[in-house]
Structure 1
Amino acid sequence: MSAIGKVRRLAFGVPSAQAVFSRPGFAPEAWQRFAPVARSLVAGYHATLEDSRLDRLVPRLEAVDRELHGFAYEGAGMGLAALDLLTFTDRRLTQFVQGPGAAHIYPVYVGVGLALARLRRDPEAYLRRLDPLLGWIVVDGYGFHEAFFKRRRYLERRQTPGHLSSYAQRVFDQGMGRAIWFSCGGVVPLVVRLVDGFPEQRHGDLWSGVGLASAYGGGADRTGLRAVQAHAQPYTAQLARGAATAAAGRELAGNQTAHTELACQVYCGMSAAEAADTLDRARRDLPTAATGTAEPVYEAWRRRTEALLSV
């Protein structure tokens, strides 16, 4: 590790992954079930702080268990975005997503959202630097961070981030749904109680986040997933779209898992490969729309995907 890497690690590193999961409100099952997820994300983040040169960084990310690659790349996305923000550039992240990070673009962009939240930057102001479609994923990552680390404000008091546009608040809620799943340790009654405490108009986006997290990260067996689906009525299309998004991310990265397959079978009524293909078909010939319009292209993609999954 270089001298500057040591300084970065000391200044911006995470003291303990387990300590994050020991915060008030987290279920004991959260660490029991998702410790490998947390460790992989933190490992990717720390590896980036220590040495962000891609020829040094990528081998360390690839050394993580293949099933957990996405979380390591998420940590790298967080680290690279943070370093770029602190040095007023976007060089590191751009090189990464155009190179070895391209196959992990979904989790990498989530990691960018984590960095933006950690450094208290506006995620919508950052969108212009990113892919006009997938860039919205950074707002999901931003929402995950805020719900995970500011649980009382966003999950218990159910506040909304007033600095975000109305549409960005919806994508923020999708990230909060993922935070709910992981912080509850996949314990379905705890997840349901939290989601049900929100106003009805927020349920669809929250359930989409639950679907994405439970499909991508696992944490429940078939019985648990069926219970999630039963409680998510009438938002099973959003739940299924979340699972299909997880399947597409894993398909692109080539790190498919049994728990993603199972979630797609339960939520989508099809295999993970078929669910991922549905997401790809929904993406074809999407209209171009500038960020900030009444319906961003990301929302058109989400609605098309839900329609195809409901056929």
Structure 2
Amino acid sequence: MSTVIGSLRRLAMAPSLEDVTFVRRGFPVEPSAITEALEAIPQSVICGFEWAIDSRSQWEIERRLELVEPKMRGFAYEGATMALTIRDVMHGARTREFLLGPGQRHIFLTYIGIGFAMARLPRPTWRKVLPDLSGSPYFPTMSWLAVDGYGFDRAYFDIKRWVDQQYVPAPYPWAGDSDYFLRAVDQGIGRALWFIHGADVAGVAARVDGFADHRKRDLWSGVGLAATFAGGATPSDLRKLADLSGEFRPEVGLGATFAVKARDYAGHMPEHSAAAADALTDGMTLGEILELADATEEAARDDAAVPAYELWRQAIRAHFAEAAAPVAD
């Protein structure tokens, strides 16, 4: 049941379903069945947000979310986490309970939901947004996906500044690493580019190519993740995407690997994710991709100079770089 305060929060912070359509956002695409399918993803996020911002109980939130079809359910969990994070900054510990409970299997996406909340909260409150999930798999390693979510949100809702003008935000010491913050933001911007160009691989590649060279590797990994997790392109177009990525092809494979891991952890692998993974990893099976992800996983260490998240990424990237290297005669 809705509450008055919850309804006010919803009206103040959540865009409408129409606000996230590509036409309303001014994305350079023509409406099609593909863009309609991609638009359903942010619309699912909004639904999750609205259910959680108004709800009095976790049971009610979970029940609503579980009614969403499996391939879209994780996105609704993103929105619910966004709402709970905003509520907790004001007062409470709902996010921790949610992520250790029903949100655990969608943990990769719920971290992104925290990033969506960050995009709507003042920076001084960011120190409160990440709950202590000690004992939970992938904590704190994958908490960098919150920063990825922040970058995605900013690019999606302010394409002129964050994409056209290639705005670089001020660093922030997320997990104590201000420098890596900017790289994680770019990974989210790369994911947003897949939506902004409506899964048009030529348009996506051209847009990434227009960014500064030092940003391209993280942008490409975001593209690979979105292409695999969200879908929207045919296998032939995805193979073209891999070719267009050129020297950054290992980054695309890296993104696809994380997408497969996230889909598998949530317990549902859509056909489009399996097809994209095949195209972007040069024919690796889902089992081989998951084995690669698990074998290269890094645990967080307080004394590490590089985030465990990036060490994990580097190991996966190295696999694809080695596979692409020419064989000596």
- TM-score normalized by the length of structure 2: 0.87
Match of 1:41 among 19, 29, 45: 45
1:300 aligns with 2:301: no
Matches within 5 A, 1:267-282: 267-268=280-281, 269-282=283-296
Deviation string 1:151-190 (CA, Å, 9 cap, x unpaired) is 1111001121123322111111000000000111101121
In 2 relative to 1, CA 19–218 (structure 1 residues): closer, same or farther, beyond 3 Å?
closer
RMSD over aligned Cα, in angstroms? 2.1
In 2 relative to 1, CA 228–264 (structure 1 residues): closer, same or farther, beyond 3 Å?
same
Bigger shift: residues 127-136 or 260-269: 127-136
Unpaired stretches in structure 1, ≥5 consecutive residues: none
Match of 2:79 among 75, 84, 90: 75
Q: CA shift at 1:200, angstroms?
A: 1.2
1:166 aligns with 2:167: no
Unpaired stretches in structure 2, ≥5 consecutive residues: 134-138, 173-177, 324-329
1:233 aligns with 2:246: yes
In 2 relative to 1, CA 183–243 (structure 1 residues): closer, same or farther, beyond 3 Å?
same
Distance in 2 separating the partners of 1:145 and 1:132: 21
In 2 relative to 1, CA 13–157 (structure 1 residues): closer, same or farther, beyond 3 Å?
closer
Bigger shift: residues 64-73 or 293-302: 293-302
Deviation string 1:220-267 (CA, Å, 9 cap, x unpaired) is 001110111011111111111111111111101111011111111111
Distance in 1 separating the partners of 2:131 and 2:96: 13
The percentage of aligned residue pairs carrying the same residue is 35
- Where does residue 301 of structure 2 map in the other structure? 289
User: 1:247·1:273 contact (CA, 8 Å) conserved in 2?
Assistant: no
Q: CA shift at 1:79, angstroms?
A: 1.0
In 2 relative to 1, CA 120–224 (structure 1 residues): closer, same or farther, beyond 3 Å?
farther
User: 2:78·2:109 contact (CA, 8 Å) conserved in 1?
Assistant: yes
Deviation string 1:180-205 (CA, Å, 9 cap, x unpaired) is 00111101121112101101111110
User: 1:204·1:238 contact (CA, 8 Å) conserved in 2?
Assistant: yes
- Where does residue 92 of structure 1 map in the other structure? 94
In 2 relative to 1, CA 124–8 (structure 1 residues): closer, same or farther, beyond 3 Å?
closer
In 2 relative to 1, CA 272–121 (structure 1 residues): closer, same or farther, beyond 3 Å?
farther
Distance in 2 separating the partners of 1:307 and 1:19: 36
User: 2:20·2:42 contact (CA, 8 Å) conserved in 1?
Assistant: no
1:113 aligns with 2:115: yes
Q: How many residues align?
A: 306
1:257 aligns with 2:270: yes
- Where does residue 143 of structure 1 map in the other structure? 151
User: 2:21·2:39 contact (CA, 8 Å) conserved in 1?
Assistant: no
User: 2:95·2:131 contact (CA, 8 Å) conserved in 1?
Assistant: no
In 2 relative to 1, CA 52–167 (structure 1 residues): closer, same or farther, beyond 3 Å?
farther
- Where does residue 70 of structure 2 map in the other structure? 66
Match of 2:222 among 209, 214, 222: 209
In 2 relative to 1, CA 207–234 (structure 1 residues): closer, same or farther, beyond 3 Å?
same
Deviation string 1:34-57 (CA, Å, 9 cap, x unpaired) is 132122111111111120521100
Distance in 2 separating the partners of 1:122 and 1:270: 44
Q: CA shift at 1:73, angstroms?
A: 0.8
Distance in 2 separating the partners of 1:10 and 1:270: 45
Q: Tell me which amino acid in the other structure corresponds to 1:84.
A: D
